[in-house]
Amino acid sequence: MKTRATLTLRAPLAGWCAPLDEAPDEVFAGRLLGDGVAIDPTAGTLHAPCDGEVVLLAPTRHAVTLRSAACDVLLHVGIDTVALGGEGFTAHVTQGTQVRAGDELLSFDLDLLARRARSLLTPVIVTAESGCSIRSRRLDSAVAVGEWLMELEAADPLTTGSDSSAAAAPLVRRLTVTFEHGIHARPAALLAASLRALAADVRLIARGRAANARSTIALMALSVRAGEQVELRATGPDAQHALEALTAVFASHAGGAALVGSAIAGLAEAPAAVSSPRVAPPAAPAAAPSDTAQRVLRGVTASPGLAVGRALQLRRAEIEIREEGGGVAAEHAALERARTEVRTRLERRAASTSAEGGAAAAGIAAAHRELLDDPELLAAARAAIEAGGSAGFAWRGAVRANAATLGALEDARLRERVDDLLDLETQVLHALGGEAVAGTAGVPADAILIARELLPSQLIALDDARPAGIAMAAGGATSHAAILAAAMGIPTVVALGNEVLSVPDGRELVLDASRAVLEIAPGEARLAAVRAEAATRAARRAALATAAQRECRTADGTRIEVLANVGSVAEAQAAMRNGAEGCGLLRTEFLFLDRQTPPTEAEQTRAYQGIADVLGERPLTIRTLDAGGDKPIAYLPMPREENPALGLRGIRTSLAWPQLLRTQLRAALMVRGSCRLLLPMVSDAAEIDAARVVLDEIRRELGRAAPTPLGVMIETPAAAVLAERMAAAADFLSIGTNDLTQYTLAMDRGHPQLAARLDALHPAVLRLIASVAEGARAHGRHAAVCGGLASEPAAAALLVGLGVHELSAVPAVIPELKARIAQVSLGECRALAAQALALPSAAAVRTLLAALPAAAGVCT
């Protein structure tokens, strides 16, 4: 019997050796890349575990793949370290270097990674393509560099496959890479894993180079970046299924369809939801390769759009403070005066929704006001003053201690709240010094602001100045500064890396925020082309906005109402400018959250009336409080729930606290205008009947003869299945596709590893939408969609074909929604719906929609 060859791997790092299962990443722990171990390092140098060739060195220098005579070994330093963009890593080898066991491969800043990486745990992987098996391995013990780690057994020689030259012509599909950092280790593993059960030969081609799509190493070696186009070529019995499987992986990592030509144009684009880097002390700007070098930096979209301008660096100077106080009483008084000044300014901003940034700026100011009065923050600051510190020293220490705590959390959105704390630090310190908050007034109109991270207060302080764009070295797409920039309509890219901080003032730039790229010194021809494109987009947007003022009809005259989802007067005003035919969903939670007592009837009536006044005679659909789940209410003694998504939510909460419901219904009935009411998270007709009893009692108390239309949100499979019975009890139905998708697919939309797979275009969800429309028709009711799917212009014709005759969307997409609907007939919509319902997956439906022509005049 022939004995297969063995290979010994030595420890590439000093540290603690653990099972691969402990890696906090499903790709590594699930062994999609291959089997191995994980090392928690205690030193910052990675060594070769065996003799071999460096076949892959990641562009960001965080991972190395060695090829020995028997197998390929992937060494991946830390988890999510690709997001650092190479910061903290130094390579000692290049691709193609021959190394001996123990040679240094790369060094890394252990302290920096500990602060900013998701985990330091370093997988040592014997790649799946190698065919090697692990005979024994070291686990649960300390290990030094060069000590025995694993013993491998080489695979038997592989037999060759059939002659590909005899294969049929390949099926071809072009895609845009939607993975945030391109095709690195984890995306490559997901792509390869999607093909395991399929009989097909698939090649991925990028920039003229091809790779076997079943090989993670080959895919990584292409160094494909986010936003690049690739071509897939598949042959074999399962070629079509292989293309669909790969398309689904791409689509699951995009905000929408990944296919070329399917991206929602300018007005419809939405920021990507991504993790921002963790907080770290500001790094020195990287040295520029050349002042005049043409180059491209890639980041993350925070606010889409296209801009041409000149660089203007904004750097926050550290505010000087004295450490020792001038007396405990005096320092306490100084801190209170500063906080009062800042609170007054924030209250003015929170009460205003007409200024630049509208509701977003007001909401952010309200959040800052809450932080200003945070009891833990105040207690820490006051204790430091009692210990003899100055008010400024005490405030800065308290803020930065809390910021460090937030910065260490796994939740990206919580980490991004660090900027709010630092912003509040700046505002109070300026008030202590008797200075105005340093803003960005006087910014030229063609400026592209560059900063490590902009604070919300800096954007609010723009006043009438409006930059062409914003480019940040760090930050995240869901930070408050990013949200505010999006509300102001300023193209913004974040997480560009420190190299952007070296761009000199005045350098000409192109910021294509929709593609998340910053082009430095692009050349006159490129500048002229982009200026022309920007002008064309502006003209198209203007044309769409003008056309959107007309009522919406299909090409053959079928009336489709297009309304808006709003949450403030400013959003209602934006909806009217964009051609909304009313409000299909008023989110009333803004009145109930982030406070210690419920809003009064008078307070609610004023808020609702303000929005009704903007709408005039157009319908205003007031959704009752949608609390519980991911929207807890501080003043409600709600029980702790193991699964809040399945507990007291929506109408269940209102019926559990009937006085809240009575107050809200009374406030709504006091509004002058065309109002209707909408109940959230209804699961059976008994809940509708209970709410109607309360509504009728209040109507009689107020002496109102005319009934107010009462509708229900269809957000659960139960409600969708019972749609006909719901329609008998309610006056209209409105489908919330976000929750309906979550409950239908049994995937928590807040789960970081599942959220990207939630797609309302899943055929199961589409079938439920069609069922709801049919149930509504049986009783002469109309069915609307007010969930996220209504804001996808590409899906508009499909929804109409399923029987939906009202869409309620975010204001910005309304012009394109109307344009899309106007170019198709009802018959074409129904034919499209029939095709979609017969497809096997959401990815296949998106492929179908991607083939549809964009609306005339829509920017793509």
Give the per-residue pLDDT at 467: 87
Q: Give φ, ψ of 68 to 5 degrees.
A: -95, -175
Please indicate whether residue 76 is annotated as part of the active site.
no
- Reference 551, options 824, 858, 821; nearest CA is 821
Strand ranges for 214-294 from DSSP E: 229-235
CA dist 784 to 560, 564, 769, 780, 790, Å? Answer: 10, 12, 10, 13, 9
Q: What is the DSSP letter of 327?
A: -
Which positions ≥6 away from 220 have C-beta within 8 Å? 56, 58, 63, 65, 183, 184, 185, 188
Radius of gyration of the chain, Cα coordinates, nearest whole angstrom: 29
Q: Please give the Cα distance from 837 to 807 (Å, whole number).
A: 20
Q: Are strands 561-566 and 583-587 parallel, antiparallel or unpaired?
A: parallel
CATH number of 167-253: 3.30.1340.10
Q: Which CATH class is domain 295-316+439-528?
A: alpha beta
Tokens read off for 453:
């991270």
Does the 6-153 domain belong in CATH 3.40.50.720?
A: no
Mean pLDDT, the chain cut into blocks of 10 residues (860 residues total): 74 92 77 85 94 84 86 89 84 90 94 85 83 85 92 62 48 83 73 77 83 75 79 85 83 43 25 29 40 76 87 78 88 90 74 50 64 75 89 88 64 57 81 65 80 75 74 75 74 88 90 90 88 83 81 94 89 89 90 76 92 94 78 58 63 81 93 93 89 92 89 93 94 92 77 61 95 95 90 92 94 88 94 95 90 56
SS3 annotation, 797-849: HHHHHCCCCEEEECHHHHHHHHHHHHCCCHHHHHHHHHHHHCCCCHHHHHHHH
Cβ atoms of 60 and 106 within 8 Å: the answer is: no
Tell which residue, 305, 372, 291, 384, has the closest CA to residue 336. Answer: 372
What dihedral do alpha carbons 523, 526, 532, 537 form, nearest 10°? Answer: -120
Active-site pick, 181, 184, 253, 480: 480
Active-site annotation holder among 50, 583, 675, 786: 786
At 422 the pLDDT is: 77
Contact between 182 and 222 (Cβ < 8 Å): no
CATH superfamily of 553-850: Phosphoenolpyruvate-binding domains (3.20.20.60)
User: What's the pLDDT at 625?
Assistant: 87
Residue 415 has a pLDDT of 54
Q: What is the pLDDT of residue 35?
A: 86
Give the CA-trace dihedral at 376, 378, 380, 381, to 10 degrees.
160
Pick 328-432's CATH classification: 1.10.274.10, 1.10.3720.10, 3.40.50.300, 1.10.10.10: 1.10.274.10
Residues whose CB is less than 8 angstroms from the CB of residue 180 and which lie 6 or more positions away in sequence, other chains included? 83, 226, 253, 272, 274, 300
Pair of tokens at residue 399 = 């803020």
Residue 786 among the catalytic residues:
yes
Q: Where do the domains of the chain lie?
A: 6-153, 167-253, 295-316+439-528, 328-432, 553-850
Whole-number Å distance between alpha carbons of 668 and 857: 40
Using an 8 Å Cβ cutoff, are 798 and 773 in contact? Answer: no
d(CA 585, CA 734): 9
* pLDDT of res. 130: 65
Q: Tokens 């309200």: give the residue.
A: 366
pLDDT in the model for residue 544? 80
Number of residues that this document lists for the chain: 860
pLDDT value at position 117? 84
Q: What pLDDT sits at residue 838?
A: 95
The answer to whether the 6-153 and 553-850 domains have the same CATH topology is no
* CA 72 – CA 219 distance, rounded (Å): 14
